[in-house]
C-alpha cells in the first residue's frame, strides 16, 4: 500500500511543479513518467524540462498522443485511477479502524492491570502515533479522490492570483502578510528560513534573464517538494522565505540541507541546445523567532543567508 501512496503523491507533486491541472489525463501521464523513468516518454519530458521549464498542457497532450498506448486511453486511465483511489481509501479506513479498536482494548486492559511494564507504555505511544498517521493518510486520500475524480476547477480569477508572485506563484510580500501576522500571536518559538540562489546574477549575465527565471522556477519547485505543507514566500527577487512552526531547529536544519542538496543535484540544461548550465547551488539563513516583529527576524535571516553565500554557498547558517 505504501508504494501506491508514494506514486500518488509523486504524481500530484509532478503536476503541481508544472502547474498542470490535476485531470485524469495529466495524472495518467505523470504516473506513466514516474513508473518508467527510462522510457521514451520520460526522455521526451526530460528534454522539454531539462532547463527548469514547466511542461505546458499543450505539450502534455502531445506527449500523451505520441507515447501512451491505446490501452492507456483517458477512459481506461480514469477508471483505473478512480478504482485505485477507492481501494486505497478502503484499505486506510480498515487499517484505521483496526488500530483504533486495538488502542481501546489495550487502554482498557491497562486501566484494569495492577502493574504496567514500561515496554507497554512505549507500545501505546507507537499505537497512538500510528493511529494519527493513518488519520492523516485518510485525509490525503480524500483530497486525492476529489482532485482526480471531482469537478473540473474553474479558470484562475484575478482574486485567486492576488498576493502571488506571477513568475513562481509563491506568495509575494503582500500575500505573505497573512503568514507573518499570525506570528504576532504565536507564543512559542518558530524557525524562519530564508533561501537564495548563490549565483543568480551570474546566471542572468551568462545566459539571459529568461534562463535565470527558469532556474528560479526550478528552485521554487525544489523547495516546494521538501516543504510541501508550508507556504513559500518570494520576499525579494532572490529571497525565499519559509516559516516552520512546531518543528525542532535540528529537524528544520536537516530539511534545509536536504533542499540545498536536491537543488545541487539538479541537472539544468538550456532549452533547444541542451547545453548544461552546470551545477546550481543555493544557501539558507536560519533563525529562531518569538515575541518580536517579523521584520527583525527577516533581517536576521538575511544576514545569515549573506554569511552563507560569502562562505562559499551551498550551506545553511544559523
Instruction: Please give the Cα distance from 193 to 197 (Å, whole number).
Output: 13
pLDDT > 90 in the chain, percent:
27
Q: What domains appear along the chain, each with residue ranges and CATH number?
A: 1-154 (no CATH), 173-317 (3.30.70.270)
CA distances to 41, 46, 275 from 38, rounded to whole Å, are 8, 10, 21
Residue 239 near residue 225 (C-beta atoms within 8 A):
no
Residue 120 has pLDDT above 80, yes or no: no
pLDDT at 121: 60
pLDDT at 255: 95
Residue 211 near residue 270 (C-beta atoms within 8 A):
yes
pLDDT at 3: 59
Asked whether the CA dihedral 273, 277, 278, 279 is positive or negative, the reply is negative
Residue 186 has pLDDT above 70, yes or no: yes
What cell does 297 get? 527576524
pTM metric for this prediction: 0.53
Contacts with 48 (C-beta within 8 Å, 6 or more apart), sequence order: 55, 59, 271
pLDDT at 185: 78
Asked whether the CA dihedral 48, 53, 55, 59 is positive or negative, the reply is negative
Instruction: Please give the Cα distance from 277 to 267 (Å, whole number).
Output: 8
Position with higher pLDDT, 112 vs 55: 55
Position with higher pLDDT, 81 vs 313: 313
β-bridge mates for residue 241, sequence order: 194, 233
If pLDDT is split at 50, 70 and 90, which confidence band does 127 have?
Answer: low
Position with higher pLDDT, 213 vs 149: 213
Please tell me the least confidently modeled range out of 131-135, 178-182, 241-245, 260-264: 131-135
Instruction: Please give the Cα distance from 283 to 94 (Å, whole number).
Output: 44
- SS3 for 149-167 is HCCCCCCCCHHHHCCECCC
| Closest of 215, 196, 207, 214 to residue 306, by C-alpha | 196
CA distances to 55, 210, 262, 279, 289 from 51, rounded to whole Å, are 11, 11, 15, 12, 36
If pLDDT is split at 50, 70 and 90, which confidence band does 75 have?
Answer: very low
Position with higher pLDDT, 50 vs 140: 50
What cell does 282 get? 543555493
Instruction: Please give the Cα distance from 109 to 129 (Å, whole number).
Output: 19
State the average pLDDT over residues 134-138. 56
Residue 69 has pLDDT above 80, yes or no: no
Residue 73 has pLDDT above 50, yes or no: no
Instruction: Please give the Cα distance from 77 to 74 (Å, whole number).
Output: 5
CB atoms within 10 A of CB 111: 8
pLDDT at 154: 42
What cell does 318 get? 544559523
Question: What confidence tens digit (pLDDT) does each residue in 28-41 have?
Answer: 888 888 888 778 88
Amino acid at each position: 500500500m505504501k508504494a501506491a501512496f508514494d506514486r500518488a503523491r509523486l504524481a500530484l507533486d509532478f503536476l503541481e511543479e508544472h502547474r498542470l491541472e490535476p485531470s485524469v489525463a495529466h495524472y495518467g501521464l505523470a504516473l506513466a513518467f514516474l513508473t518508467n523513468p527510462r522510457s521514451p516518454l520520460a526522455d521526451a519530458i526530460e528534454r522539454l524540462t531539462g532547463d527548469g521549464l514547466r511542461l505546458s498542457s499543450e505539450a502534455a497532450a502531445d506527449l500523451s498522443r505520441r507515447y501512451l498506448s491505446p490501452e492507456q486511453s483517458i477512459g481506461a486511465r480514469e477508471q483505473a485511477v478512480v478504482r485505485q483511489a477507492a481501494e486505497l481509501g478502503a484499505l486506510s479506513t480498515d487499517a484505521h479502524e483496526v488500530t483504533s479498536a486495538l488502542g481501546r482494548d489495550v487502554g482498557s486492559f491497562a486501566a484494569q492491570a495492577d502493574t504496567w511494564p514500561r515496554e507497554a507504555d512505549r507500545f501505546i505511544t507507537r499505537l497512538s502515533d500510528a493511529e494519527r498517521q493513518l488519520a492523516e493518510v485518510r485525509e490525503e486520500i480524500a483530497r486525492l479522490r476529489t482532485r482526480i475524480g471531482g469537478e473540473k476547477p474553474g479558470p484562475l480569477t484575478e482574486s485567486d492570483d492576488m498576493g502571488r508572485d506571477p513568475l513562481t506563484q509563491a506568495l509575494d510580500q503582500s500575500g505573505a502578510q497573512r503568514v507573518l501576522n499570525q506570528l504576532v500571536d504565536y507564543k512559542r518559538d518558530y524557525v524562519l528560513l530564508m533561501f537564495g540562489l548563490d549565483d543568480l546574477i551570474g546566471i542572468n549575465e551568462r545566459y539571459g534573464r529568461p534562463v535565470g527565471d527558469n532556474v528560479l522556477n526550478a528552485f521554487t519547485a525544489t523547495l516546494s517538494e521538501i516543504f510541501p505543507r508550508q507556504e513559500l514566500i518570494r520576499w525579494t527577487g532572490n529571497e525565499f522565505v519559509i516559516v516552520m512552526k512546531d518543528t525542532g531547529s535540528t529537524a528544520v536544519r536537516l530539511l534545509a540541507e536536504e533542499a540545498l542538496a536536491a537543488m545541487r543535484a539538479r541537472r539544468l540544461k538550456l532549452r533547444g541546445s541542451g547545453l548544461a548550465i552546470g551545477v546550481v547551488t543555493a544557501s539558507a539563513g536560519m533563525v529562531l523567532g518569538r515575541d518580536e516583529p517579523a521584520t527583525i527576524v527577516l533581517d536576521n535571516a538575511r544576514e545569515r543567508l549573506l554569511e552563507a553565500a560569502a562562505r562559499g554557498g551551498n550551506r545553511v547558517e544559523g
